[in-house]
Amino acid sequence: MSRSIYLALDFPNWERADQFIKTNRLHGVPVKVGMELFYREGPRVIEQLKENNHPIFLDLKLHDIPTTVMRAMKNIAQLGVDYVNVHAFGGGEMIQRAKEGLVSASNQPPNLLAVTMLTSLDQEAMNQELLLQGSVEDNVLHFAQLAKNNGADGVVCSVHEAKQIKKLCGPSFQTVTPGIRLENSTKDDQKRIATPAFARENGADILVIGRSITRAIDPYEAYMQAIKEWENGNES
């Protein structure tokens, strides 16, 4: 089992998620729990997954006033997950207080990640709707630096930005990358996709993979292929 590939458990409830894991012999693999599953099941889903020894990335993308985020993170820290996240757009003070909440509530606090820019926003939406100047890459790098300066352990970003972020923020600043597709799978609705081998070459530390595995004909085989592509590069 690779600790670097988090399977996105994008299911409507625990029953479906648990059934998927069991049917496909994915016991104990690292998993990402997002809003859909967490808002249905609450902390119980995290307890279940921990009992079954899954490393967990709890992807709730917090974004509120700093005190509220700090207090929420105090509660989240007690769930004992490995990664949590906020939107970098909440600002430096919010990121700092998020970290403060995590550290104050746990001896082994989760890693704090910041979402730089949602990949659903293109340059036009960013410039015209959010009134942010410059290219997507300029803004992503700016938010990565802001996150780093305020105590985040890494960012969620596109594979295409990981190398530049590493250069700017240093090798220990973690890059967690969704938008991954296996060599032979479809693109679905993701525009800027990359294979695990490409991600590896471009400085990604951790991959988040959902539909390439959950919608594969044989999800176990797809998971194994992802590990192989990630570990061996293109010669696999």
- 156: which 2 tokens? 């969620």
Are 88 and 95 contacting, i.e. CB atoms less than 8 angstroms apart? Answer: yes
Q: What 8-state DSSP symbol labels residue 194?
A: B
- 153: which 2 tokens? 């352990």
Footprint on residues 80-119 left by ligand C5P (CB under 6 A): 118-119
Question: In this structure, are strands 154-156 and 5-8 parallel, antiparallel, or unpaired?
Answer: unpaired
Closer to ligand C5P at the Cβ: 30 or 179?
Answer: 179
Out of 7, 152, 209, 216, the only residue in the binding site for ligand C5P (CB under 6 A) is 209
C-alpha 96/C-alpha 106 separation (Å) is 16
156 makes contact with ligand C5P (CB under 6 A): yes
Out of 59, 153, 161, 229, the only residue in the binding site for ligand C5P (CB under 6 A) is 59
Size of the site for ligand C5P (CB under 6 A): 16
- Count the neighbouring beta carbons within 10 Å of the beta carbon of residue 98: 28
161 makes contact with ligand C5P (CB under 6 A): no
C-alpha 29/C-alpha 222 separation (Å) is 13
Alpha carbons within 13 angstroms on the beta-carbon side of residue 154 total 24
Catalytic choice (22, 32, 50, 61)? 61
8 makes contact with ligand C5P (CB under 6 A): yes
Residue nearest to ligand C5P (CB): 210
Task: Reply yes or no on whether 191 is catalytic.
Answer: no
190 makes contact with ligand C5P (CB under 6 A): yes
Q: Active-site residue numbers?
A: 61
Instruction: Give the binding site for ligand C5P (CB under 6 A).
Output: 8, 10, 34, 59, 118-119, 156, 178-180, 190, 208-212
